[in-house]
Amino acid sequence: PALQPSPESEAELAFEGALRPKSLGEFVGQPKVRGQLQLLLRAAAMQNRAPDHILLAGPPGLGKTTLAMIVAHESGRPLRMSSGPAIQHAGDLAAVLSSLVPGEVLFIDEIHRMARAAEEMLYLAMEDFRIDIMVGKGAGATSIPLDLAPFTLVGATTRSGMLPNPLRDRFGFTAHLEFYETDELQQVLERAAHLLELDIDPVALREIAGRSRGTPRIANRLLRRVRDYALVHGTNAGHDAVDAALELYDVDAVGLDRLDRAVMLAILERFDGGPVGLGTLAVSVGEEADTIESVVEPFLVRIGLLGRTPRGRIATHAAWQHFGVTPRAPQNALW
């Protein structure tokens, strides 16, 4: 769907970069996580050491990359950015780790997608700032220990459940990012509108905030689409422009997009409200199970349309109502 995070176009990325808050003070919402990070960073600064390793968990677009940048910025340390999919061999990770400067913040996005062998190397690196490099093959293979500069690892994941325990345990702190409230998204949008020098009605900002899936990235993108709409149609960026632009991009009144609706309608209409297994559901909407689980479902659960049970996914009572579908009468009732 047009408003989901990937694939990223260059323009969208530049736009996101321009709107990224640079300090914890500018970071809207997530009061709990902000307080926790602040304490951690201050304690490290007072002891003049690298902050503990930090794991940021939560759905896409909630501010994980932004927080990693803030950690580096607020502690006055350089930042190195990498990602799980880019680390397919232990050697890829060794190359990154051995080139870090003392105190550097290493950000690994999608850390749950890193190769197994690299994961194991990371345990030792996180704990002792040391790695063992394997040289040679077969009987003649030896491992050479290599000391690393102390660093702070900031890992981000949409699937904290998929991280092996030994890795999860080595983070000093795990922040669970929550979906944002409408008020908070309105603040995100006010800030963005100000930075982009957009003349937009506060009522329209409120409307966009309420239809952004609790996600700052989506809020900022919808803002851009509304701005485009107002520009092209020569109208002001008010309530009507919001309605028209969001309809054009398939965003409904509560912020569900096309994929959200496809998933809910499949459960309701094809599986009579469930329970239906994740794999079956994924096939029936033609999406990857991983995307359904980490991108689509968390929000549907959060707004009370979908339930996850041990037997599979179910539609809630509210879902039948929201989509105006009536449950089919049981077909094989025995009389």
Which residue in the list 152, 157, 158, 174 is annotated as catalytic?
158
Q: Please count the other Cβ atoms lying within 10 Å of the Cβ belonging to residue 284.
A: 15
Closer Cβ to ligand ADP, 27 or 229, answer by number: 27
Tell me the closest approach of the beta carbon of residue 162 to ligand ADP, in angstroms: 16
Host H or E run for residue 55: strand 54-57
Task: Select from 13-21, 133-141, 164-172, 316-324 the region that touches ligand ADP (CB under 6 A).
Answer: 13-21
Query: Cβ distance 40 to 288 under 8 Å?
Result: no
Whether 158 sits among the annotated catalytic residues: the reply is yes
Residue from 62, 148, 242, 245 in contact with ligand ADP (CB under 6 A): 62
Choose one: 124-132, 139-147, 201-209, 216-224; the region binding ligand ADP (CB under 6 A): 216-224
Instruction: Sort strands 54-57 and 152-157 into parallel, antiparallel or unpaired.
Output: parallel
Residues 234-293 that bind ligand ADP (CB under 6 A): none
Q: Which residue, 38 or 321, is less far from ligand ADP as judged by CB?
A: 38
Asked if 20 interacts with ligand ADP (CB under 6 A), we say yes
Binding residues: 19-20, 61, 64-66, 127-129, 170, 180, 217, 308, 313
Three-class secondary structure of residue 157 per DSSP: strand
Apex 321 CA angle, 316 and 327, nearest 5? 75
**CA–CA distance, 236 with 123 (Å, rounded to integer):** 55
- Could you tell me the CA-to-CA distances from 264 to 10, 218, 273, 302, 321 in Å, in that order? 32, 20, 9, 14, 12
Which of 21, 103, 255, 273 forms a contact with ligand ADP (CB under 6 A)?
Answer: 21
Note whether 96 and 153 are within 8 A (CB).
no
Question: 57: which residues sit within 8 A by CB, 6+ positions away?
Answer: 156, 157, 158, 160, 174, 175, 176, 177
Work out how close the CB of 119 gets to ligand ADP at its nearest, in angstroms, rounded to a whole number: 21
Q: How far is the CB of 66 from ligand ADP (least distance, A)?
A: 3
* Binding residue for ligand ADP, selected from 94, 105, 121, 188, defined by CB under 6 A: 188
Least distance to ligand ADP, CB of residue 19, Å: 4
**Measured between alpha carbons, how far is 83 from 109 in angstroms, rounded to an integer?**
4
Interacting residues toward ligand ADP by CB under 6 A: 16, 19-21, 27-29, 60-66, 156, 188, 216-217, 220
Active site members: 64-65, 109, 158, 217
